[in-house]
Amino acid sequence: MTQDDARRLWDAVLGELQLQVTRHNFDTYLRDTVGLELTHDRLTVGVPNDYAIAWLYDRAYPLISGTVNKVLGRRAEVSFRLYRPYGRQPNGGAIFRATSLAPANQPNVRLNPKFTFERLVVGPHCRLAVHAAAEVVERPGETHNPLLIFGPPGMGKTHILHAIGHRLLAKGRRVLYITAEQFTTDFVAALGQRRLDEFRARYRGLDALLVDDIHLLAGKERTQDEFSHTFNEVLLEGGHIVVTADRAPQAITQLEPHLRSRLEGGLVVDIGAPDMETKMAVASAKAHDLGVQLPQEVARFLAEAAQRSIRELEGYVNRLVAYARLVQRPIDLEVCQEALRALTAASSTGPPTPDVVMRTVAQFFNLPVNSLTGKARSKMVADARHIAMYLLREECQLSLKDIGRLLGGRDHSTVIHAVHKVELLMRTDPILRRQVSEIRSLLSPGYTAQASA
């Protein structure tokens, strides 16, 4: 089989995986992977760095293997190998190529080259946010500082954030893009390695700090304090701050009052759901990027099928184009319906509910569900309870308070300790990594946990 066969197969797999993993994980570990070789019983996938390879094996292999087998129609092993078509990345860890316009001393901004203003489909749902972003680019450090853009996941907030970064880089400005999750991880690592000075130096002298998913700082008091100091330093030095969140600042529970007031002190704009015309335009633009032209009725079918987000719509387009190439048929309404039939049925369940997470964890450890909410402290029960807390946070995006309430009325500090413990152990304990990965695969669309005895 040719390399084109491997690429087409993996493109189809990515179209499905995009709807089954979080945006952060897809963008960080999967987006820039590529199918390299396909034999009868093995698919080899190229991955840009060693860290991503380790994550794909440890955290996502069951889900990836199952998806490959479903798309291919037979069993095949999946292997990953290092593949850097763009050359060695700075710091050995960046997935996205930094723009070529960045000066030599530019920090690793990790901007997606596809997320520019030129490629943004602007509709009524995001017009105000895009207008505010354009004004930031024209007068960085002066107008709308800070700028906070909020709205449901998958509506284009990250695209706008990256577009700001690209424009400022083109002007020779120093820009740093980071997610709140990455900020937290780097801060915890700096604390453990006693390298806070080096950590803080990353944020000195910036013209713009772009932070995605600021709501993920909720409940992390020390990280919020550190971010507040960073926030103040950037503003004092004349830099601009732009952040995104999934809700308005006042609705983010467990956000420190002083940080909330700083975020509300600039311009706060929201992004809503796009209308039908905008979704059809997004579908057509995405297909054009992939080298095909969508018939009008296909664009409308895709727009009507994608009810949750623009990201879901783009995933459908990826799936359609990859499927049409795989079966070597022109894109029409019939092919579109075939390509999306299994995918829309599987994805209709959405993220797992808290009840499903708790029952799945209990079943995995062969425990009754009430053992997770009770007072038992045996090692197996404690481990299962900690993993349940971690997955309720990661998969269901529940607040610490809600997690504690579900698991027997436990204090939020207990939940923080458990989540952090699992996060740390997953870096060093291969058994725990495998357990969490297998439970995640059970939580994938189409699986329903049975009540434990």
Decide which of 303, 321, 347 is a domain's last residue. Answer: 347
Look at residue 237 in the predicted model and tell me its pLDDT.
Answer: 87
Q: Residue holding tokens 């197996």? A: 380
DSSP state of 122: -
Structure tokens at 442: 């059970």
Are residues 261 and 281 both part of a single domain? no
Report if residue 449 sits inside a domain: no
* Burial tier of 285 (Cβ tally within 10 Å: 0-12, 13-18, 19+): middle
Dist. CA 21–CA 440, nearest whole Å:
10
Report the pLDDT value the prediction gives residue 376, as an integer from 0 to 100: 83
> Is 447 a member of any domain?
no
Helical packing angle, 412-428 and 379-394, nearest 10°: 100
Do the beta carbons of residue 200 and residue 230 sit within 8 Å? yes
The last residue of a domain, from among 331, 347, 363: 347
112, 247: one domain? yes
**Same domain as 149, residue 43:** no
Instruction: Specify the CATH number for the domain of residue 231.
Output: 3.40.50.300
CATH number of the domain bearing residue 371 = 1.10.1750.10
User: Residue 166: what pLDDT?
Assistant: 92
Do residues 105 and 247 both lie within one domain? Answer: yes
Name the domain count of the chain: 4
Same domain, 76 and 200: no
Could you give the angle at the alpha carbon of 312 between the alpha carbons of 81 and 36, nearest 5°?
20
Whether 148 and 215 have beta carbons less than 8 Å apart is answered as: no
User: 438 and 379: one domain?
Assistant: yes
Do 72 and 103 belong together in one domain? Answer: no
Match 């799936």 to its residue by tokens. Answer: 319
How many Cα neighbours within 13 Å face the side chain of 344? 18
Torsion angle of the four alpha carbons 189, 190, 192, 195, in this order, in degrees rounded to the nearest 10: 150
Write out the two tokens for 324.
């049409």
Residue 452 in any domain: the answer is no
Domain range for residue 284? 276-347
Q: Are residues 123 and 252 in the same domain?
A: yes
Q: Kindly state whether residue 234 falls inside one of the protein's structural domains.
A: yes
Task: Tell me: do 337 and 377 sit in the same domain.
Answer: no
3-state secondary structure of 238: coil
Same domain, 167 and 255: yes
Output the six-digit token pair for 279.
Answer: 């979704």
φ, ψ dihedrals at 173, nearest 5°: -80, 155
CATH of the domain at 313: 1.10.8.60
Same-domain check for residues 154 and 265: yes
Structural domain contains residue 167: yes
- The answer to whether residue 383 is domain-embedded is yes
Q: Are residue 236 and residue 298 in the same domain, yes or no? A: no
| Contacts for 380-388: CB closer than 8 Å, 24+ residues apart | 383/432, 385/418, 386/418, 386/419, 386/421, 386/422, 387/361, 387/422, 387/432, 387/435, 387/436, 387/439, 388/357, 388/358, 388/361, 388/362
Between the CA of residue 171 and those of 52, 99, 137, what are the distances in Å?
Answer: 32, 12, 9
| Residue 237, amino acid | E
Question: What single-letter amino acid sits at 58?
Answer: D
Which residues, including other chains, have CB under 8 Å from residue 269's CB and lie 6 or more apart? 128, 129, 132, 147, 148, 149, 150
| Nearest-10 Cα torsion for 268, 274, 277, 278 | 60
Residue 237 lies in a domain: yes
Q: Could you count the other beta carbons within 10 Å of the beta carbon of residue 74? A: 9
State the DSSP string of 98-112. Answer: PPTTS-TT-------
Select from 196, 254, 222, 278 the least CA-distant residue to 412: 254
Name residues whose C-beta falls within 8 Å of residue 215's C-beta, 6 or more positions apart in sequence: 180, 245, 246, 247, 252, 255
CATH number of the domain to which 52 belongs: 3.30.300.180
Q: Which amino acid is at 218?
A: A
Give the pair of three-digit tokens for residue 19: 């709807």
| Residue that finishes a domain, picked among 325, 347, 369 | 347
Q: For residue 361, what are its two tokens?
A: 């964890």
Whether 320 contacts 339, CB under 8 Å = yes
Instruction: List all residues 6 or more positions away from 345 whose beta carbon is below 8 Å from its beta carbon.
Output: none
Per-residue pLDDT of the chain (453 residues; tens, 9 = 90+): 667 888 888 988 888 888 777 777 787 788 889 999 998 888 999 998 777 787 888 778 888 988 888 888 788 889 998 886 643 333 333 333 333 333 334 444 568 888 889 888 888 888 899 999 999 999 888 889 999 999 887 788 999 999 999 999 988 899 999 888 888 888 888 888 888 888 888 877 789 999 998 988 888 888 899 999 899 889 988 999 999 998 888 888 778 888 888 888 889 998 888 888 989 999 998 888 888 899 999 999 998 888 777 888 888 888 888 888 877 889 999 989 888 875 554 444 557 789 889 988 887 777 888 899 998 888 888 999 999 999 998 888 888 888 999 999 998 888 988 998 898 888 777 778 877 877 876 675 544 444 333
Residue 230 domain flag = yes
